[in-house]
Amino acid sequence: MRVRLAKTAGFCMGVRRAMDIVFDAIDQKGDIYTYGPLVHNPQAIDMLKSKGVKVLDSLSDSLEGTIIIRAHGISPEELAQIKKKGLKILDATCPRVMKVQSIIQKQAKEGYHIIIVGDKEHPEVKGLLGFSQNKGVVVSNIDDIDHLPANMENVCIVAQTTLDISEFSKISKKIHEKFLKVKIFNTICDSTSKRQKEVINLAENVDSIVVIGGRNSGNTRRLVNIAESTGIQTLLVETENDLDPEKFIGMNVIGVTAGASTPNWMINRIVERLEGFRKNEGSFFTRFWNNLLRFTVKSNIYVALGAGCLSYVCCLLQDITPRLPFSIIAGSYVFYMHILYYFIDKKAARFNDPSRAEFYEIHKKTVATSIIFSAMISLFLCFNMGWRAFLFILLISLPGLIYGIKIVPNSLKKMLRYQKLMDIPGSKTIFIALAWGAVISILPVIAINSKINISTGIAFFFVFVLVFVRSALFDIMDIQGDRIVGKETIPITIGDKKTKSILKSLLGALSFVLFISSLLGIIPKLGYILLVCTIYGYIYIYLYERKAVSHGILMEGIVESNFVLGWFASIFWLTYLH
């Protein structure tokens, strides 16, 4: 059974913006309130409550602090009441909703009667009515049109932003037939339209559709209705516990989509649970390879293998004879450091990578033993190479060992701001790339008592860029979970678009360095062949941007295969071109 995740699943622009506003407010002092639920998703609301954000259904006289206007927007009258309370106001109204508000306000001033097509009880619609200057009515279905006053001369029709586009078309056409002068504004959000069209396309190529979202979410219910209208089995789920394996027996492809207020961590959990249903499906060979892939990726064995492969490549780049101990040291170092980082930062992992978190919790003792064993292997091998190599591995291990420890006293907190290395924005991504570069490219030079030269710098840059791109891309994927736990990753600090631009620029710079240094004879001609790694980096970034592969085991495996690809490229060069 395969899982196909819709490209448009999850937070829309408006919800993402609202969440960002709340997270930014959480970092400040004082009480934080949202006027009504920020979004219609129970898990998202529960998460905000756990961060101290309170939901207000009414305004009391004793409020102090910051109040955040929900994504659905509110009426001008409600806003005026809030202002009278003297609260700090942060407006998280979706820009698409703001556009509808301005249309209604303008057309009402020009004397038009406003007809809002949507759910009468939806908070967005209630807020929109407040902008109509008492000239607005709501039409929820075709039958409501018969009850409209016949004396309305000038009519303006708008839609709730999350309305079913086909329903709006039918209703607006019927209204146009009843009145002479009608203006129609299709104010359905582009994201909503794309989401609905994608569900229809998805239904043509899958055996069942799972819609993830809150049961009280209007746009989620419409996705369910649209999917059901195609005749395909459709299931609405809020959490992974709502999934019944028996519903998917005998099915080959399951389509998954999600409402605009469904967080990524819930999508990840449900997709991973669905993918877990296929563990016992198919032939023995298929089950074996599926389970092997999951185990090697989730256990960090695969990324450790990749580090060993890069060690081989970097030795060739520096004209050093590759030795198995170099690869073992690199692999074992990366293995125990990556797991160590998980235990230091496991709060974020529970949101970003629930299956890995579950894997480590179940096998906690085995994982702890493997950390100690792999650390002893790398230290023992370095000790056999001499005191310089041994001290070097201890030195580059130090940042990882103290990463989550408070090293700055409280008295200096205000001056330095950060008390732990993990508090520094983007520190994990940068430290990982630096550590990989050091153990893979510099340690072999120290071990053979050679001098660090330009080729060492190029090898270091090669590893640094590949690992930095890998880690930063994962940070982009994990941006929602990281914001929840208060991490300041590079994408959170500068934005995901700028981060992707930096990653592409780094790959371009690496391509230039490999080509020029090979051309000038600074490194072996292998540099030409290793351009395949930079091209591969562009490919998996493109796959992520196009959402051709969902965030999960497969995507992680694809990204980390770049390190193994470098080894294959080196073997090809040694065999046929050297």
Catalytic residues: 124
Answer whether 256's CB lies under 8 Å from 4's CB. yes
Helical spans, DSSP H, in 478-530:
479-485, 490-494, 496-519, 526-529
**Angular region, 239: left φ>0, alpha ψ -120 to 50, beta rest:** beta
DSSP string of 129-196, one letter each residue: HTTSTT-EEEE-SGGGGGGS-TT--EEEEEE-TTS-HHHHHHHHHHHHHH-SEEEE-----HHHHHHH
The helix (H) or strand (E) run that includes residue 220 is: helix 218-229
**Angular region, 141: left φ>0, alpha ψ -120 to 50, beta rest:** beta
483 CB-side CA count, 13 A: 27
Placement of tokens 């999917």 in the chain: 227
Placement of tokens 């929900």 in the chain: 70
Question: How crowded is residue 567: how many other Cβ atoms within 10 Å of its Cβ?
Answer: 20
CA distance 347 to 361: 12
Tokens encoding 442: 């510099």
